[in-house]
Amino acid sequence: METVLPYLAISMGFMSSFHCIGMCGPIALAIPVRSGSVSGRYFNYVLYNLGRTSTYTLLGLIAGSMAATISLVGYLKYFSVAAGIILIIYAVGPAAWNRYYQPPALWRNMIRKVKTAMSSVLLSHHTGARYLLGMLNGLLPCGMVTMALVSSMATGKAWSGGVFMFLFGLGTLPAMLGISMFKEKISPEIRSRLFQMTPVIMLMIGLWLVIRGFMLDFPAGSSAIPVCTGN
């Protein structure tokens, strides 16, 4: 079961990246690039996307750490099943989910501050600003990233959650780099067809999490404690 996880994470990132193009593509295209060389422009785009992936990885580590606590008290199997059901619901009706889910006021205030910081960074021509812009962009609310974080929590470990989100970020790179480098060759029709496959990947991951939850062998309330006995 665990060997499937990297493929699901990368596939989830790749499919969701076509949603990212619509949401984050304008930001990527707005990146000021002073270098006139092709390699210089590509380097800046790569920095920006690596910044996004770094934030995803950090969030995955945090989510995985929280899940590790759940695992210690014996509720990981139930969390895995619940996370899978959430992903299945999102795959079947993402529009309804986005319509009824409203982030808390504290989160909305944080997002406003992130957008303000991004506006300032966009004005900078320093090379490192591209990486920082990507990191800040990774903090913007996104249903697909939220679902990926839910999936990463179901791994039950900090490092596993970080690896899941790192692979998710890598999965978004081809499309996000493509829209920056070859935007004239990626038609809206191609993006639309690929984006239509996203619910299928989400459904697969949701089913995997549900099955994984039922296969875990440490139910809540287990009191098995190793005891050392002398001869």
pLDDT for res 228: 46
pLDDT for res 119: 83
pLDDT at 136 over 80: yes
CB 94 within 8 A of CB 143: yes
Between 13 and 38, whose confidence is greater?
Answer: 13
pLDDT band at 81 (very low <50, low <70, confident <90, very high): confident
Report the b/e string of 194-224 with b at 16+ CB within 10 A: bbeebbebbbbbbebbbebbeebeeeeeeee
Please report the sign of the dihedral spanned by the C-alpha atoms of residue 182, residue 187, residue 190, residue 194: positive
Report angle CA 72, 160, 206 to the nearest 5 degrees. Answer: 90
What's the chain's average pLDDT? 76
Q: What is the pLDDT of residues 185-209, one digit of tens each?
A: 556 666 666 667 677 777 888 888 8
Percent of the chain whose predicted confidence (pLDDT) is above 70: 68
pLDDT at 60 over 90: yes
Distance of CA 113 to the CA centre of its chain: 21
Range in 123-127, 145-149, 171-175, 213-217 the model is least confident about: 213-217
Compute the CA torsion angle 168, 135, 156, 109 (nearest 10 deg). -120
Between 133 and 17, whose confidence is greater?
Answer: 133
Give the C-alpha separation, 121 to 131, whole Å.
10
Q: What is the pLDDT of residues 21-31, one digit of tens each?
A: 655 555 665 56
Give the C-alpha separation, 124 to 47, whole Å.
14
Range 89-110 average pLDDT: 71
Residue 228 DSSP label: -
Give the C-alpha separation, 85 to 83, whole Å.
5
Range in 59-68, 72-81, 159-168 the model is least confident about: 72-81
pLDDT at 61 over 70: yes
Residues 6+ apart with CB under 8 A from 189: none
Give the C-alpha separation, 146 to 14, whole Å.
15
Range 56-85 average pLDDT: 85
pLDDT at 53 over 90: yes
Residue type for 76, please?
A: L
Between 151 and 183, whose confidence is greater?
Answer: 151
- The position carrying tokens 């999965």 is 171
pLDDT for res 29: 58
Residues 6+ apart with CB under 8 A from 112: none
Compute the CA torsion angle 13, 14, 18, 20 (nearest 10 deg). 30
pLDDT for res 225: 37
